[in-house]
Amino acid sequence: MAAGRPTWQGHLRLSLVTCPVAMYTATDAGSDVRFNMLHKKTHNRIRMVPTDPDLGPIERSDIVKGYEVEKGEYIVVTQDEIDGVRLESTRTIDIERFVPAAEIDRLYWDNPYFLVPDGKLAAEAYGVIREAMTKEGQVALGRVVMHQRERLLAIEPRDNGMVAWSLRSHDEVRAAADYFDAIPDQKPDAAMIQIAQKIIEQKEGPFDPEQFTDRYEDALRALIKEKRKGKGRKVVAPEPEDTNVVDLMEALRASLGKAPAKTAAKKAPARKKAS
């Protein structure tokens, strides 16, 4: 049974096949260390009071939405007018196209959501769509309105469910050439490349996300724990030294000697199916 409130509820439609679905965020940022703003003397939590430059503090009920068309000139839009702009994608994910996942540049992949059938009657149609996609090896593209924005979704089968990825729009992804064209187009020394390849081979291993914790978050928690005890301390992270270009070959050879032996790939633990 899915936990928590869904981010979105509506219908998934493939041609004439439709089923109710719900989307839940697949990631959790709730464990991040978050700080509140306090007054430095009283330690009272600061309240963000909406303020008009002429009237001073105002009630939130007096706030309206406006779009700036010229400097200081706004078009005021009411919530009823915004709600009146209805798109079919507000309540329906209409599958428009199927593509191989490899054709979608990884720069476009954004946030993952668990897409699940909403109710027992939806399970059969949901299963048909999922299994057909699995057999064809395709990712479905559709649109959805979330957080007052229409987003493109890439939906892929996963275990006995499906994951919907919101995709960034073309305007959101910057052109790589704007950043990479200035990189000198010169071939590195072949011997250096071979040593670097050996270092890569020695460091090969399976991906285990549990090994990659957020060390900065861990350090913050340790700092808070120490301060709670009344000790207090500073957390200092050592900065890596830049490689001296003159000694690049020496640095590569030294790295080759320090590289740990390649660990045998271990079998990933079986994923527990949601009950």
At 21-55, the pLDDT tens digits run 999 999 887 677 888 999 999 999 998 899 999 99
More confident residue, 267 or 220: 220
- Please list, in sequence order, all residues whose beta carbon lies within 8 angstroms of the beta carbon of residue 174, skipping any fewer than 6 positions away: none
Structure tokens at 259: 């590289």
What digits encode the pLDDT tens for the residues 229-253?
876 555 565 666 655 555 777 887 8
Q: What is the mean pLDDT of residues 94-115?
A: 94
Q: What is the mean pLDDT of residues 10-20?
A: 92
Span of 23-27, 77-81, 109-113 with lowest mean pLDDT: 77-81
The string of DSSP letters for 37-59 reads: -B-TTT-PBPP---EETTTEE--
State the Cα–Cα distance between residues 71 and 77, nearest whole angstrom. Answer: 17
Q: What is the mean pLDDT of residues 72-89?
A: 82
Across the chain, what does the average pLDDT equal?
84
Position 175 scores a pLDDT of 94
**If DSSP codes are grouped into helix, strand and coil, which group holds residue 172?**
helix
**Which DSSP category does 168 fall into?**
-
What digits encode the pLDDT tens for the residues 170-220?
999 999 999 999 999 888 889 989 999 998 888 888 888 777 777 777 787
Confidence at 158, pLDDT banded by 50, 70, 90: very high
Distance, CA of 112 to chain centre: 7
Structure tokens at 17: 């096949």
Residue 257 has pLDDT above 80, yes or no: no
The string of DSSP letters for 227-270 reads: HHTT------PPPPPPPPGGGHHHHHHHHHHHPPPPPPPPPPPP
Residue 157 has pLDDT above 90, yes or no: yes
Position 131 scores a pLDDT of 94
Q: What is the mean pLDDT of residues 159-172?
A: 95
**Which DSSP category does 2 fall into?**
-
Position 137 scores a pLDDT of 93
Confidence at 10, pLDDT banded by 50, 70, 90: very high
Residue 274 has pLDDT above 50, yes or no: no
pTM of the entire predicted model = 0.71
Position 271 scores a pLDDT of 47
